[in-house]
Amino acid sequence: MELILALAIGVLTSSGVYLVLRPRTFQVIIGLSLLSYAVNLFILSMGRLRMDAAPILSGAGANPADYTDPVPQALVLTAIVIGFAMTALFLVVLLAARGLSGSDHVDGREN
């Protein structure tokens, strides 16, 4: 479990960083999305990995040890929403840049 998650985060991050450094805006936006997925998984893992444990206490007298940490899940939810909005915004800017410069290069110039 730990190994799989660590590998997933690592692969996502390295692909993300590679793509962010590429010259075309579309590659950059995919890279940014991959980076944010990696970060979201990382935040989730910071609440310690638990299988089959609910994040919300039910009933009085429940033992907190039976539950997983709810805070990272709330953080991830916020981060996903914000990341989604930012990606949408960046997409618009990307299209505007494409329209204004006639090129999908990050600095607006081919070659």
Partner 1 sequence: MDSVNHLAILPIIIPMAAIIINLLVGDSRAERTIAINVVFGILNLGVAALLFVTVALGAAEAVWLYPLGDWPVPFGIVLVADRLSATLVLTTAILALASLIYASARWHNRGTHFYPLLNAIIMGVNGAFLTGDLFNLFVFFELLLAASYGLALFGGGRNRVRAAMHYIVINLVASSLFLLGVALIYGTVGTLNMADIARAAPLIVESDRGLFEAGCAVLGIAFLIKAGSWPLHFWLPNTYSSAAPPVSALFSIMTKVGFYSILRLWTLVFASEGGEVTFAQHTLLVLGVATVAFGSIGALSCKALDRLASYLIIVSAGTLLLAVGYNVPSVTAGAILYAVVATLAAGAIFLLKDVLDQILPAESQILAVSLELYGDEEEEVDEDEEVSPAIPAATTLVSICFAIAALMMAGLPPLSGFIAKFAMIEGAFASEGAPTMATWWFTAALMLSGLLVLIAMVRNGINIFWASLPAGTLVQLRPLEIGPIVGLLAVCVLLSVAAGPAMGFLIETANVLHAPLTYTNAVLPGAGS
Binding-site ranges for partner 1 (CB under 8 A): 20, 25, 28, 32, 35-36, 38-39, 42-43, 45-47, 71-72, 75, 78-79, 82-83, 85-86, 89-90, 93-94, 96-97, 100-101, 106-108
Which lies closer to partner 1 via its Cβ, residue 35 or residue 68? 35
* Nearest by Cα to 44 from 95, 96, 6, 91: 6
Gap between the Cα atoms of 98 and 78, Å rounded: 30
Which lies closer to partner 1 via its Cβ, residue 45 or residue 63? 45
Instruction: Tell the smallest beta-carbon distance from residue 32 to partner 1 (Å).
Output: 5
Which lies closer to partner 1 via its Cβ, residue 6 or residue 85? 85
Gap between the Cα atoms of 38 and 16, Å rounded: 9
Give the C-alpha distances (Å, rounded to integers) separating 22 from 5, 12, 62, 77, 95.
26, 16, 51, 29, 17
